């Protein structure tokens, strides 16, 4: 799944992306929201026409970029306030906003808004982060089911490097019910063994009839 951050895979045409064997392309909600704007993409016919790609498109929620690229102002149960890395403008992004933006883009696979738990993180911080992610996921689902059909919403498993918290996150997301599940919070600085262990914990309990997405992990060695 090549990364097309701004609606294009750098230095490659859509035809070349297909010839390379890609079946799906990833777009970045944070970047597309800031520039050129999701309303602009929607007006131009959606992300597929915007990037001249007739295959599936997955968009992340923008959460990871908010926490890693933008100048973070504050995290509250309601959402996240941040400053754009482009012009310093202030924005407030709620789970509902992230979901509606992705629907406006016309994504095939939409990711729930989550807090990507940093590494390392204490158990207390990780648990609070997990609770926030679950609440946000529920709010994303509430918006998603009211939108037009045609896209799938994936919940994102968090829980840091704690096995029991990973299982708690998974159970809470499965109780909400999503069309697919992503394993998040990995490839953020932990060891390869920790990554493998936390992936295995999730895989043991994920439903077999739902797609699985291991986020941020993509090197040949991984």
Nearest to 150 by CA among 183, 113, 182, 105: 105
Cα 7 from Cα 51, distance rounded (Å):
5
| Same structural domain, 124 and 85 | no
Residues 99 and 31 in one domain: yes
Is residue 104 domain-resident? yes
- Residue 59: C-alpha distances to residues 30, 49, 82, 216 (Å): 9, 15, 20, 13
CB atoms within 10 A of CB 163: 14
Per-residue pLDDT of the chain (222 residues; tens, 9 = 90+): 999 888 889 999 999 999 999 999 999 999 999 999 999 999 999 999 999 999 999 999 988 888 777 677 789 999 999 888 899 999 999 999 999 999 999 999 999 999 999 999 999 999 999 999 999 999 999 999 999 778 999 999 999 999 999 999 999 999 999 999 999 999 999 999 999 999 999 999 999 999 999 998 878 788
Q: Is 59 in the same domain as 122?
A: no
| Domain end position, chosen among 46, 78, 111 | 111
pLDDT at 70: 66
Residues 54 and 89 in one domain: yes
Same domain for 89 and 60: yes
Rounding to the nearest 10 degrees, give the CA dihedral for residues 217, 46, 180, 4. Answer: -10
**What confidence score (pLDDT) does residue 67 get?**
78
pLDDT for residue 102: 97
Work out how many domains the chain is built from and give that number.
2
76 and 124 belong to one structural domain:
no
For residue 221, tell me if it sits in a domain. Answer: no
222 in a domain, yes or no? no
Structural domain ending residue among the three candidates 111, 137, 153: 111
The C-alpha atoms of residue 134 and residue 115 are separated, in whole angstroms, by 10
What are φ and ψ of residue 181, in 5° steps?
-135, 135
Find tokens 């010839």 and name the residue: 19
Residue 199, in any domain of the structure: yes
Q: Are residues 2 and 104 in the same domain?
A: yes
Q: Is the peptide bond before 120 cis (omega within 30 degrees of 0)?
A: yes
Question: Would 153 be classed as within a structural domain?
Answer: yes
Backbone angles phi, psi at 118, to 5 degrees: -70, 165
Residues 191 and 150 in one domain: yes
CA nearest neighbour of 42 among 183, 134, 148, 161: 148
Contact 117, 185 (CB under 8 A): yes
Residues 202 and 123 in one domain: yes
- pLDDT score, position 7: 87
DSSP 41-92: HHHTT-HHHHHT--S-EEEE-SHHHHHHTSEEEEEETTEEEEE-TTT--EEE
Domain ends where: 53, 85, 111? Answer: 111
Could you list the residue range(s) of the whole structural domain that residue 181 is in? 114-216
């Amino acid at each position: 799944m090549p990364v097309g951050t701004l609606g294009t895979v750098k230095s490659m045409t859509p035809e070349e992306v297909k010839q390379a064997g890609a079946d799906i392309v990833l777009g970045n909600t944070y970047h597309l929201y800031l520039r050129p704007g999701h309303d602009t993409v929607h007006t131009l016919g959606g992300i597929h026409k915007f990037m001249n790609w007739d295959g599936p498109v997955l968009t992340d929620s923008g959460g990871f970029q908010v926490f890693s690229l933008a100048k973070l102002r504050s995290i509250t149960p309601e959402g996240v306030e941040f400053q754009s890395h482009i012009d310093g403008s202030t924005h407030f992004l709620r789970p509902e906003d992230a979901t509606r933006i992705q629907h406006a883009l016309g994504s095939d696979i939409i990711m729930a808004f989550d807090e990507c738990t940093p590494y390392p993180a204490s158990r207390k911080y990780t648990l609070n982060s997990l609770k926030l992610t679950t609440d946000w996921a529920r709010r994303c689902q509430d918006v998603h089911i009211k939108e037009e059909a045609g896209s799938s919403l994936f919940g994102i498993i968090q829980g840091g490097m704690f096995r029991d918290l990973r299982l708690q996150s998974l159970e809470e997301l499965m109780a909400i019910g999503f069309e697919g599940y992503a394993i998040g919070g990995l490839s953020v600085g932990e060891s390869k063994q920790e990554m493998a262990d936390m992936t295995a914990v999730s895989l043991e309990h994920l439903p077999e009839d739902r797609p699985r997405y291991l986020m941020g992990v993509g090197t040949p060695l991984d």
